Structure 1
Amino acid sequence: MKTLVGGLLTAVMLIVVLAAVGWLALQRKDIPYDSLEAKYDSPASQYMDLGGGVRVHYRDEGRREGPTLVLVHGYSASLHAWEPWVRSLSSDYRVISLDLPGHGLTRSDQGYPAGRQGYGAVVDQVTRKLGVERFTLAGNSMGGGVAWEYAVDHPDRVEGLVLVDAAGWPRDGGGSVLIFEVLRHPWGRAVLKNVDTRPLVRQGLQSAYLDDALVTPELVDRYVELARAPGHRDILLGLQTGPRREATPQVLSKIKAPTLVMFGQKDTVIPATDGDRFAAAIPGSTLIVYPDVGHVPMEQIPDRSVQDLKTWLKAKVYAAVP
């Protein structure tokens, strides 16, 4: 009997030791900003100090005298997500893309209050500092939530609004993307804060893009590595529990700007029915639903989606602009 008990204790201790070793092996430290900037910024990259420890990474590209478009990325993404659109739009428009705090190459002090409302303030500060008074605002996913909230709060500044698989409607249950399921729980956030999330990130991207060929090792590296910038993980985890304004027909009915709603019919992150709800709630909006497309139409079908955007801009927002 003693031999059996001793053997069981030894086995338990071995399991604990192996688990601890495995846990330590998965730990990942922050990556310094200098290293990330050397790899992920571009000749178009610029930086702007907003005060409060926030230093925004942005790009201001295209036709300076043209109408201005401002592009806001989604959760855990970066301005890189808009590159296919920027290449196509730059001949006719001034295109500003930016990294929100906790994302990409934007720096912020420890304790930055994560939330869509604070992100709207960042959009407001950046555009004002660049001398842009009126613009069309586009956002994907969480960035779409930032965009529609900004349009509600600053109707005098928004000429047009583009919601690409936008967030905002209340959720009754979880989606099918594993990493978001884990992040909804305090224990999940605690476990994931300092470990290698590469397998979960890859699964999340495959769910978003639907096409495994688009989820390259370079794409996974970019998401994983930029999330390891100093302070980013605290902000990203805080966004799962931070305050947010939910979309309602009453709130969205205040939007007066011409609005384009784009949604992938097979979005597994935000259901395509939310696109119908946005279109029904925002007066005079235009809805485009893409069959066999997921959460990021601007990356999955860049040519088709940007052409639809150009057509809509010419018809609804800048019809009088040559």
Structure 2
Amino acid sequence: MSHPPAQAPAMHHIAIGRRGAPGVVFAHGWGRSHRDFIPTAEALAPVARAVLPDLPGFGATPRPEAAWDTGDYADAMAEALRGGLVDGPVVWVGHSFGGRIGLRLAVRHPDLLTGLVLVAAAGIPRAQPLVEQLRGRWRSRQFRRLKARATDQAALEALEDRFGSPDYVQSRRDGLRDIFLKTIAEDQSADLRRINLPVTLIYGGRDTETPPDLGRRMANAIPGAEYVQLDPCDHISVLDRGRHQIALAVKEKLVAQVAP
């Protein structure tokens, strides 16, 4: 049995839609905020009560005191949901990092969810071509070699800016490096077949951060999951150009929730 993490910060959030309507929670990606999902939530306002939190460490919500993993984030969200953040079980919509948390919730707290909509979700390792693996190893060796010669913090940070991913670099600036390293290394592959909820996965055809192949592999591993690919979209534009498809996937799960 999981337990809520100690000293979880109070989560800043907004609510959109009529009270008493079926609940939907929108969880943003790494380095983002609740604002990403406002247009989609507004489109669902006539049929749903949407809650859009800033996850701990992002937006207006303070970071947790400890270095959380996605299980800790899921347990904190479960505590908030059981505490009345939304009435009844919800459809969880998670983008990227928010998708990682949704996968954890579906396994650890399935009673709180009626379905999952995973948008460009992370959660399993990317399949890397050999040339990309070799390039990554070479850059890693270069970084370690130059790091050993660095004489001060400014030099180290300049090397990180040169060799690190944008999220890795930003995690230092946001004071979230420990959480980033803990969550980015997680592999939820073994848990995917344990998910017993309606799941729709939506990925952009031009996404290089969570590419379509990753989404297809996740969909194949989750029993009964539906995979949708939006070819013109990348990792971020899928939230805007794909908002109608996201809203449709949520509506389908809300209809199934009330069907006799």
How high is the TM-score relative to the length of structure 2? 0.76
1:271 counterpart = 2:225: no
The alpha-carbon deviation at position 129 of structure 1 amounts to: 1.7
Tell me the residue number matched to 1:54: 9
The separation in 2 between residues aligned to 1:134 and 1:170, in whole angstroms, is 29
Correspondent of 1:138 among 70, 80, 93:
93
1:247 counterpart = 2:201: no
Tell me the residue number matched to 1:12: none
Change (3 A) 1:281 1:51: closer
Q: Which amino acid aligns with 1:122?
A: A
The separation in 1 between residues aligned to 2:186 and 2:40, in whole angstroms, is 28
Q: Which amino acid aligns with 2:68?
A: A
Change (3 A) 1:73 1:256: same
Does the aligned pair in 1 maintain the 2:203–2:229 contact within 8 Å? yes
Change (3 A) 1:204 1:108: closer
Tell me the residue number matched to 2:73: 119
The alpha-carbon deviation at position 83 of structure 1 amounts to: 0.9
After superposition, the C-alpha distances for 1:216-262 in whole angstroms (9 at most, x for unaligned) are xxxxxxxx9xx79xx97222x223321554122x4111111111111
Does the aligned pair in 2 maintain the 1:168–1:247 contact within 8 Å? yes
Count of equivalent residues: 235
Give 1:283-298 correspondences, 5 Å limit: 283-298=223-238
Q: Which amino acid aligns with 2:72?
A: G
Change (3 A) 1:53 1:255: closer
Q: Which amino acid aligns with 1:103?
A: F
The separation in 1 between residues aligned to 2:26 and 2:108, in whole angstroms, is 17
The alpha-carbon deviation at position 204 of structure 1 amounts to: 5.8
The alpha-carbon deviation at position 308 of structure 1 amounts to: 2.8
Unaligned runs of 5+ in 2: 134-138, 148-152
Does the aligned pair in 1 maintain the 2:37–2:52 contact within 8 Å? yes
Change (3 A) 1:71 1:191: farther
1:129 counterpart = 2:83: yes
The alpha-carbon deviation at position 72 of structure 1 amounts to: 0.8
The separation in 2 between residues aligned to 1:233 and 1:204, in whole angstroms, is 12
Tell me the residue number matched to 2:136: none
Q: Which amino acid aligns with 1:86?
A: A
Identical residues among aligned pairs (%): 24
Change (3 A) 1:117 1:192: farther
The separation in 2 between residues aligned to 1:170 and 1:245, in whole angstroms, is 8
Does the aligned pair in 2 maintain the 1:133–1:157 contact within 8 Å? yes
- Structure number with greater Rg is 1
Tell me the residue number matched to 2:150: none
The separation in 2 between residues aligned to 1:112 and 1:101, in whole angstroms, is 11
The alpha-carbon deviation at position 74 of structure 1 amounts to: 0.6
Does the aligned pair in 2 maintain the 1:135–1:159 contact within 8 Å? yes
After superposition, the C-alpha distances for 1:19-58 in whole angstroms (9 at most, x for unaligned) are xxxxxxxxxxxxxxxxxxxxxxxxxxxxxxx972613111
After superposition, the C-alpha distances for 1:133-192 in whole angstroms (9 at most, x for unaligned) are 4111110101101101110111222111111110011246579xxxxx99xx796xx769
The separation in 2 between residues aligned to 1:91 and 1:194, in whole angstroms, is 48
The separation in 2 between residues aligned to 1:275 and 1:192, in whole angstroms, is 38
Give 1:108-187 correspondences, 5 Å limit: 108=63, 111-130=65-84, 132-171=87-126
Tell me the residue number matched to 2:174: 233
Change (3 A) 1:192 1:116: farther
Does the aligned pair in 2 maintain the 1:103–1:232 contact within 8 Å? no
Unaligned runs of 5+ in 1: 1-49, 176-180, 206-223
Does the aligned pair in 2 maintain the 1:164–1:296 contact within 8 Å? no
CA-based RMSD: 3.6
Change (3 A) 1:286 1:96: same
What SS is found at the alignment partner of 1:137? strand
The separation in 2 between residues aligned to 1:193 and 1:143, in whole angstroms, is 30
Change (3 A) 1:61 1:252: same
Change (3 A) 1:194 1:118: farther
